[in-house]
Structure 1
Amino acid sequence: MSLTTSYLSSTKNLESIFNSIINARAPERFTTKFLEDLGFKSSTDRLMVGMLKALGLLDENGQPTQRYYEFLDQSQSKKVIAKGIQEAYEDLFNLRKDAQNMSNEDVKNKLKTLTQGQKGDRVIDQMSLTFRALCNYADWTEDPIDQNPTKSTE
C-alpha cells in the first residue's frame, strides 16, 4: 500500500512553512529544532517533519533529498510538491487520476476504504484536510508523473 499515514493536525501554517523552507539555507538535518528556528514553535507544526518525509523531501534520517533541493527553486517548488503528493498518496491517485480535484468528502470516503477502517474519523478528517491543503498549494498545471504522449505540451 502506498498511502502516507502522515498528516497535519493543523494546516494553517502549511504555506508559511513551505515559504520559510524555500527562503532558508538547507539544513544538514531537518529537525523540529530547525522548524522552531524558522519560527514554527507550535507542537502542531512538528508533524510537518513527517509530512516532508512522506513527500520525499527528507529521507528517514531527516536529511534533505534531491527533491528538497529542487523544491528550493521557486519556479519549481509547487510542481515538486505535486510530484511528492502523487507518490505519498499513490493509492488515491490509482483510484482517481485527478485525485487532487476530489472534494473533501470524496477524499475522506476513499481514505476510509484505503485504510480499511484502521483509522478513526478524526484521523481520517486530518488526513483529508492535509491532502486538500497540500493539493491547494501544489501546481497541477502539468502532471509530472503521467507522461501521457497524447497530451499536448504546447
Structure 2
Amino acid sequence: MHLRTATRPDLPAILALLADEHEVTDPATVVVDAAYERAFASIEADPRNEMLVLVDDSGLTVGCAQLTYIPGLGQGGRERALVEAVRVRPDRRGEGLGAELMLLAVERARVRGCGLMQLTSNKRRDAAHRFYERLGFARSHEGFKLALRED
C-alpha cells in the first residue's frame, strides 16, 4: 500500500469512494462536474489542504482522506490537523486498510508539526466510532453543524 497526494486523474476514484459507504461504485460511472473540478482545484492549490489516496500494489485506489491543517493559538501555536472524507472501498474492508490509512495520515500530520488531529463522525456510525477509538482517538467534544444551503 502507498499513501500519496491525490492528483486530478484520481478524482473519479475519490468520488466513487465518497458516493456510497456500503456499495462499490465504479469510478467510470462517476460524473465529475464543474463543482467537483473547482473543489478539487481549490484543495490542490491550498497548502493547508491535502486530498490523500491509499493505492494498492495493482494501482487500485482503495481509500482516501482529506487533511486540512488549521493554524491556531492553542496547542502552543501549533497547527491542528482535521481529517475528513475518510473512506475505504467496501469490498476491501476488514483488511486493516482503514487503520493503515489513518496511521499514515496521523504520521503526516505529526511530521508537519501538528499538535493534534481531530475529526467528526456521524452519531449513527457506531462501528466508525469504535474504529477511531481503537486507533487512540478520544471522544472529547460535542460537535454542532449548521446547514447554510439545502441541496
TM-score (norm 1): 0.32
> As a proportion of its length, which structure holds more helix?
1
- Larger fraction in strand: 2
